[in-house]
Structures are given as structure tokens and as C-alpha cells.
Structure 1
Amino acid sequence: MQNITLFQFFHWYYSPEGNLWQHAREKAPHLASLGVTHVWLPPAFKSAQGQNDPGYAVYDIYDLGEFDQKGTVRTRYGTKDEYLEAIKAFHENGIQVLADVVLNHMHGGDETEKVRVQQVDPENRMEKIGEPHDIDAHTKYTFPGRGDKYSSFKWDKNCFTGVDTSADSIFVILNEHTHGEWDEMLEDEKGNYDYLMGADIEFRNPYVREELKHWGEWYLKTTNVDGFRLDAVKHMPYTFYNEWLDHVRGVAGKELFCVAEYWRNDPEKLNHYIEVTEGRVQLFDVPLHMNFHEASEQGNDYDMRNILHHSLLGINPARSVTFVDNHDTQPLQSLQMPVQQWFQPHAYALILLREQGIPCVFYPALYDAKYVDYQDDKEIYIELQGVTCVEKMMRTRCHLAYGFQRDYFDHGNTIGWTREGVDDREHSGCAVVITNGSAGNKKMEVGKRHAGKTFIDICNPEAGKITIDEHGMAEFYVGDGAVAVWVREETLHFFTEP
């Protein structure tokens, strides 16, 4: 069975010119050649900001770039037809598609209505300010551009738990479902972390739950996607997704790959979510990303023996989706904690070439990213360069990184591991050494199946060749602050473009 590799095919600042779906269709063969098995596409539905938002300020989940709403027919990424064509192209290349599902909140209501609310302290949502009163809130969603096509459901104040008028003015809504109280959450950050942004969806309303199940069924049948990336689950009752996922999987008649974003630097908290959802989802390994960020900041002062400690990978590797960076962590974003460029090859080696976890490769690692944003009223130019050797690592994962794993996490700066290979993948096996310090070497066992065979470092062809001894051992070298991926010489054909 081929190793699973997920690819995030977008970044926060991808051009609003509407060509992402076309671009994805064109790149599908290339990604397949690198061993990508699953691709995560951005939110495909209409945003309250039309084509000027990456898709997380949700307006109409039924509008995939089909209706003239919010000043545009297409979304930031293209039209509905182009989206469906991109999915078809991935399927034709043997790649499954994950849709980005954003069901926590909505933005851009079509009409205002009088809503009875109670203001809360934004830093402690359980602490109420003043007395209940009425405000005019944009909580009526009638979708005049779409009408009743696909669904006649109209959203109003009874469908939401809370709203805001600014970052400092957050209100819990008083209706028959909320009774002026937030829903129960697993998290107690800010007192209760039910509210995130916009008009917060009320999952205690049974009509809302049924409408969202209807939408999930419609989305599957319309797009033929193979799974989901679930946004902001920390702010939603886990019981809803237990119910929703069971429904859509029943409709699909198959297991749907599902990975959720629970943003918390605490592996025990992540594992608890996996437990209460009874293994229905994978989770992005946020603590591991934080380790990568910290290691990239500390340079050779970071103890590489600890790089996998305090991570979901360490306590529940079967449910860990590992990543180096994503759209939220890239520079100028709300969760900005990028992994510095020099350490990205190290981090990608750790997620792509080891046995545990399912790696997710971020778009700029392969295709670069350039963009301009503003910070403190100053224009900031950002350029993210592709990661050195990442394509070769992806090909190594696809063809060679199989079999028994031996770890050599025995030095503060230089660590390594080997994969012995398997019988049904010819010449499979590899040895990896990474260092955040000076050049060095590590004696490691790759297995007697490779005795007498010549290995080369695909990340540094000038490193020369080594021969595995009769015991399956060799001294594997790595350059200053570098990554070395050693493979058998006869596998070089895997690393040339088809």
C-alpha cells in the first residue's frame, strides 16, 4: 500500500484573480508523480467579501461560484464548473479531494433584525456586562441571488448563538435555544470558547443541525469529494460533528477521510477530542508544528532529541496529521508562527520520511508564494521560497520510505533514522540524517537486505557514495545545518521528472 501524503493546495494570499481551480487542474499530474494521494482545497463557497476573501468569512455554503451574490458570481478561486473540473482532474490522477468545511460561523447577513442580546467581556465570555437589550444585527440570511435553489432554509436570529459589532463588543443572543448562554465547549479559554467571529451558529437548534446535514448530503452528491477538512472545531460542540459525520458517511456509503483543525498546543487536549469523537477524525498536530517553529528560532541551541516530544505524534500517531506550516501560520496571519526557511527541510524530512503520522505539505513549499499585506499601516512584502529537496523527499516517501524504522535520536544537534524497506517495493529503504549544527556523521543500521549496496545522498549529490557493510551498517554523513537523505543508487530513476 502506498504511503498517504496530503497536499494543501492554497495559501492565505493566493491571488484573487480566480484561477486556482484551473491551476489545480493543471498541477494534478505533477502532484500525482510526487506521490500525493490526497489534496486539500480551500473553501469553495461564497464569502461575504466576494472574491476578496480566502473563503472563511462564509456567506452561502450552497453557492460554489454559481450565483451573482456579494458582487461576484465566481469565488476567489473560480466558478463552480471550474471547481468540479479540478476535482475530476485529481480523480483522474488517482488523488482524493478534501473539501474545506467551515460551519462555525456566517458573515454578511442580507438584512438586519432586532435581536435581544447580552453583552459579555471579550476576555471572559462567561462574565456579562450590563443588562439584556436589543440591537440591530445582520442575522437574516435570505440569499436573494440564489433564492430557494438547493435549499429554501433561511437563517435568522434563532439560528445563531452570538454576534459582535467589533472585536471588543461580543454579545450572546437570547432566543429559545440559547436562553442567553453559550453552548458547552471542551475548551474554557476566554471563559467559554464557543464564540469565534461573525454570527456564531447555534447547534442546539434542531432545524440548523438538519439543514447542515442536508447541505453535507448535497455537497457530497454535487462535488463527489472524498473527505473533509473541518475548520475551527474547538469552537463547536463535538456532538454536532459526531452526528454530522455519521450522516454524511452513511450517505456516501464509504469511509471519508476527515481531518479537523483543533488549534491547541497541548497534545492531551487534542487526544481528548479524538476520544470524545470516538476516532471519527484525524487532527492536525499543532504541538509538533510549534516544536518546528521553536527549533527554527533557536538554531543550534535547540536539542534535536526533543523534536518529537510534546506532540500528538508522540501519544496518538495513528490520528496525527503532521504539518510544517499552513495558511494560518504564514507571515502576517493571525496564528503567525512560521518555521524559518533554513529549518523547513529538516521539518519536512521529519514528517515525510518517518513511519508515523500522515504528512501535509503546504503549497509554498512546492510552488513558492509572493504577496503584499499591511501591518501597522506599512506595506509588507513577503516571499516564501520552495523548500530545498522537498520534491525528492516526497518521491522518497512514495517509493522508498517503507519498512522497519530504527531511530538514532542520540545527539543534541544531529539525529537520524533508517527505514529498512519491504519486499514488495524493489530497492526500498532509506537513511536520513539531519543536523542543526555542524557537519557530522552517524553510524546507523539500514538492514542486511542492503549489504554491499551503494547509497547516495539525493539532497546533496556531491556527498559521494557509501557502501553498506555485511551487517547492514554504514556511516551516513550530513553537511552543516543540513538534511541528508541516503537511498540506493539504483533508485535514481524515481527522482527524474517523467
Structure 2
Amino acid sequence: MANDTLMQAFEWYLPDDGNHWNKISEMAQELAELGITKMWLPPAFKGTKSSDVGYGVYDMFDLGEFNQKGTVRTKYGFKEDYLNLINVLKNNGISPIADVVLNHKASADATEAVEVVEVDPTDRTKVLSEPFEIEGWTYFNFPGRNKIYNDFEWHWYHFTGTDFDARTGKSGIYQIQGENKGWAQGDLVDKENGNFDYLMYADIDFKHPEVIKNIYEWAHWFVDTTGIEGFRLDAVKHIDAFFMNNFIRDIKDRYSQDFYVFGEYWNAELDDNVHYLDNIHYRFDLIDTRLHMNLYEASQQGESYDLRRIFDDTLVKNFPDSAVTFVENHDTQRGQALQSTIEEWFKPAAYASILLRESGLPCVFYGDYVGIEGEFSQMSFKEDLDKLLVLRKECAYGEQVDYFDQANCIGWTRLNEEGSPLAVLISNAGDATKRMFVGEKWSHQTFYDAMGRYEDRIIIDDEGWADFPVAAGSLSVWIAEE
């Protein structure tokens, strides 16, 4: 069975030219040939303006079709471009995954009088005021769409909180009052800041029956309209896990158990990740935030980092069937809220650590693949990533044997039975060698460094072993020459 590989097909600073859906369509065949099998697409829904990356969601039923918020298209293009891209991906054997932003709504059409209490931003369970009235941006009726596809209107009682009082011009975190209101139960959202139900904008109340009904209506319309084959769920640590468990259960029951879903649970504590997985009955996977942070720390600390710890406390080590592994994403790139950008010297090694191992679904970041321009520029790693993707597609199979026996040099082999085995080495200090086994059937065979760091060849000994080298602060991947 071929390895699955995911690509995140966007980064934060893409140009606001409406051409991205078409650009990815043009890349699809090449990416498929490299082994990309799933494509995480950015949010396709109308946001606060044409340049919105997609997380300031205004209208989930507008995929770049209606003149709303000063634009018909989204940042990435028009509805017909999006639908065409999905078909192109499928025709190339790539499963399209939609970024779904359910936590909040932004850029309301009008204000409403709302009774609230102000809460402490550092502890949202702590109330700072008596109930009082604000003018909140909580009324959504989508006049540009004019009730096409769905006639639901959103009011203050469909939300749990907001962050701005238009009457006074004051910002804060305002918890909406009323019957059955309040944050999600503390056990069902992340416990950061006391209760991290509220994140931004108008925070959706997933306990309200009208909200639940509308989200299901939207999901059925969206999947039926687009033919999308999976969801990436944004900000799940802020969304009631009881709702999310039921929602994904029902989506999979309606469409397919193969409808692939993974969630952004931005929390590096293994216990918290496991608690969330328990809450959702392991119905979908989570990004491996701890692994990303380990890779980031390794890139920052250089030779003082003990590479033997690189997988400590990670999902991929402890719950491999639930882990989406990644090196970088749109939140961790330079200039973003969760900036934790892996240093360039270590990035190829970091990608080898997700692409050439047996566990987890690895995700390649578009910004690392094509590069990032502008104030927060990052270099392209396309040449190395193309090599690693081909190695994953063709060689990264079979038993994995780890050689994590040195603080500054780790290695592993993949004892592929159908083709060449792999011998992978990572150094974060000086030149190093490591004696590793690739199989007796490869005795006297010549191996070369597929990454091109070494020109010399290695000969496997009579018993299937060799001393494989790696250059200082580098990565080498050795495979059979024939």
C-alpha cells in the first residue's frame, strides 16, 4: 500500500489576486507524481474582505459567488475555480480536504443590543462586572446572497461571546447572558485562560439547537456541492468537544468512514491531546503540536539539543494512528501569532523526520515548497522536498529500526522488502558516522546519498551493515544505487 502524504496548499502571505485555485490546479499533476495523496485547501468561504486568508469567516454559503464585503471572489478565486480545482485534484488521485472554520463568525451585517458581563481575558471564568448592555456585532443576514441556498439569520443568542462594544468603542471579552448561555463546559474545551471557549469575533454557541441544525445544513450543502473528501477543522480546542464528536460521527455516517478529518488542537501537552482524543472517541486525527515544537527547539538550540529526545511526548510516538505530523504551517511562519519557524539549516532534517518514518500522516507546507515573499520571506526547499517526497513514495516502507544512540547524531533504517531500503542520518553538530543494518541481501551493494550531500559511495558488508556518514549539521539518506 502506497504511503499517504498531505500538502497544506497555502501560506499566509499569498497575493490577493484571486488566482490561487487556478495555480494549485496547474501544480496538481506534478504533486501527484511526487506522491501527494491529500491536499489541505485554505478556507473557501467569504471572509471579511477579499484579502482575508479565510479565518475571518463571514458567510459559509458563499464560495466566491456573491458580491459581499466588497468582493465576489475570495482571496483564492471564484466558486467555479474552486470546484474545478477539486475535480482536477480528484482526477490526479489527490483527495481534497477543506479547511472548515466553525468556531466564530466575523464582520456582522448589523449590531444588536446584547446583555453581557465582561470577563478577565486571562481567566474567562472570572467575571469582572455586573450584567450590562452593549451594541454587539452579532446580526448576520447576508443581504448579498439574499437567502440563496439557506435563509438562516444569526442573532446574538446564537453566540456565547463577542469582543467589541460599538456603543462605547471599548474592546474586551464579553460573555453573552441569557437562558442556557455561557461558555462550553470546562472539560469540553481547552483549559488555557481558565476556559478557552472564546477565541475571537462572535463566538458560536454549539449548544443552541438552531445553530446545530444550521451547521448540519451547511455541511451537507457544502459536501454535496463541492465533492470535497475531508475536513481540516480549525481551532478545535475552542469548540465544544461534545458537538464536534457528534458532528464528525454524523458526517462520516452520511458520506463515508473514509471521509478524512483532522483537527488543529494547538496544545503541546500530550495529556491534553489524549484527553481531547478521548472526548471525541478518536473519530479524527490531531496535528502533532509537540513534535513541531520539538523540531523548533532543536533548530534553535543546535548542538546543545539532544536529538534522542526529538520524539519525546509526541502524538506520533504515543498515538501514531491519530497524528498528523508537520514542520511548518500558516500559523508558525514568520510574522504570525504562533510564530515558531524552524531554522533553515534544520528544515530538511525536520522534513525527513516526518516523511521517511513509518508513523503519522506527514504534511508538507506550501510555503516551504515554493518559498514565501515579502517582509517575512522564507526560502524554498523544493529541491530537497522533491527528493524526500520521491524517497517516501518509492522507498519508505518496511520495518523501521532506530539508532538513537548519540545526542548529536540519530539515524534509522527502513528495511523495504520491495525496493531499496533507506538509511537516514541527522547531525546537529559535527561530521558523524553510524553503523546501521540494511539487510544481508544488500551485501556488497553500492549505496549513495540521495540528498546529494556526499559524492562518495558506501559498500554494504557481508552481513548487511555499513558505516553511513553524515556531514556536520546536515541530513543524508542512503539508498541502493541499483
> TM-score band, normalised by the shorter chain?
over 0.9
What is the aligned-residue identity percentage?
43
| AA at the equivalent of 2:316 | L
Please give the residue correspondences for 1:243-254 in structure 2 after superposition, counting only pairs within 5 Å.
Answer: 243-254=246-257
Asked if structure 2 preserves the Cα contact closer than 8 Å seen for 1:157 and 1:175, the reply is no
Please tell me whether the aligned partners of residues 172 and 182 of structure 1 are also in contact (alpha carbons under 8 angstroms).
Answer: no
TM superposition score normalised by structure 1: 0.93
Letter in 2 for 1:469: D
Report the counterpart of residue 70 of structure 1 in structure 2.
69
Residue of structure 2 equivalent to 1:234: 237
Q: Which residue of 2 aligns with 1:206?
A: 209
Equivalent position of 1:256 in the other structure: 259
2:474 paired residue among 465, 482, 491: 482
Residue 428 of structure 2 corresponds to: 436
In structure 1, the residue matched to 2:8 is 8
How far apart in 2 are the matches of 1:107 and 1:359? 31
Q: Does 1:330 align with 2:320?
A: no
CA gap 1:291/1:387 in 2 versus in 1, 3 angstroms: farther
1: distance between equivalents of 2:335 and 2:367?
A: 15
Q: Which amino acid aligns with 1:202?
A: D
CA shift at 1:144, angstroms? 0.3
Question: 3-state SS of the aligned residue for 1:120?
Answer: strand
The 5-angstrom pairing of residues 87-236 of structure 1 reads: 87-165=86-164, 169-178=172-181, 180-184=182-186, 185-236=188-239
* 1:210-268 C-alpha deviation (Å, 9 max, x unpaired): 11011111111111111110000000111111111122222214421111000001112
CA shift at 1:5, angstroms? 0.5
Letter paired with 2:111: T
Corresponding residue for residue 23 of structure 1:
23
The secondary structure found in structure 1 opposite 2:129 is: strand
Q: Which residue of 1 aligns with 2:403?
A: 408
CA distance in 1, matches of 2:115, 2:210: 20
- C-alpha offsets along residues 356-405 of structure 1, whole Å, 9 cap, x if unaligned? 11100101221111123xxxxxxxx5233326522111110011110011
Residue 81 of structure 2 is matched in structure 1 by: 82
Tell me the distance in 1 between the aligned counterparts of 2:60 and 2:110: 18
Alpha-carbon distance between aligned partners in 1 of 2:33 and 2:258, rounded to the nearest angstrom: 25
Partner of residue 352, structure 1: 355
> Would the alpha carbon gap of residues 123 and 461 (structure 1) be closer, same or farther in structure 2, given more than 3 Å must change?
closer
Q: Which amino acid aligns with 2:133?
A: D
**Helix, strand or coil: the match of 1:189?**
coil
Separation in 2 of the partners of 1:468 and 1:382?
42
**1:32 CA displacement:** 0.5
Q: Secondary structure at the match of 1:382?
A: coil
**Could you tell me how far apart the structure 2 residues matched to 1:418 and 1:189 are?**
40
Query: In the alignment, is the contact (CA less than 8 A) between 2:184 and 2:240 conserved in 1?
Result: no
Q: Deviations over 1:271-297 (max 9, x none)?
A: 221121111111100001000110111
How far off its partner does 1:312 sit? 1.1
Q: Give the C-alpha shift of residue 449 in structure 1.
A: 2.9
Shift of the 288–449 alpha-carbon distance from structure 1 to 2, 3 Å rule, reads same
Q: 2:415 aligns with which of 387, 408, 420?
A: 420
* Unpaired stretches in structure 2, ≥5 consecutive residues: none
Structure 1 position 147, deviation (Å) = 1.4
Q: Alpha carbon RMSD of aligned pairs, Å?
A: 1.4
Q: Which residue of 1 aligns with 2:52?
A: 53
- State whether residues 109 and 139 of structure 1, in contact with CA within 8 Å, keep that contact through their aligned partners in structure 2: yes
Count of matched residue positions in the alignment of Structure 1 and Structure 2: 477
Letter in 2 for 1:276: N
Classify 1:35/1:182 alpha carbon distance in 2 versus 1 (closer, same or farther; 3 Å).
closer
Q: Secondary structure at the match of 1:240?
A: helix
> 1:181/1:245 Cα in 2 relative to 1: closer, same or farther (>3 Å)?
closer
Moved over 6 A (4+): none
Where in structure 1 are there 5+ consecutive unaligned residues? 373-380, 491-498
Give 1:496's aligned residue.
none
For 1:406-431, what per-residue CA distance to the aligned partner results, in whole angstroms no more than 9, with x for missing partners?
Answer: 11000010110000102xx3x23211
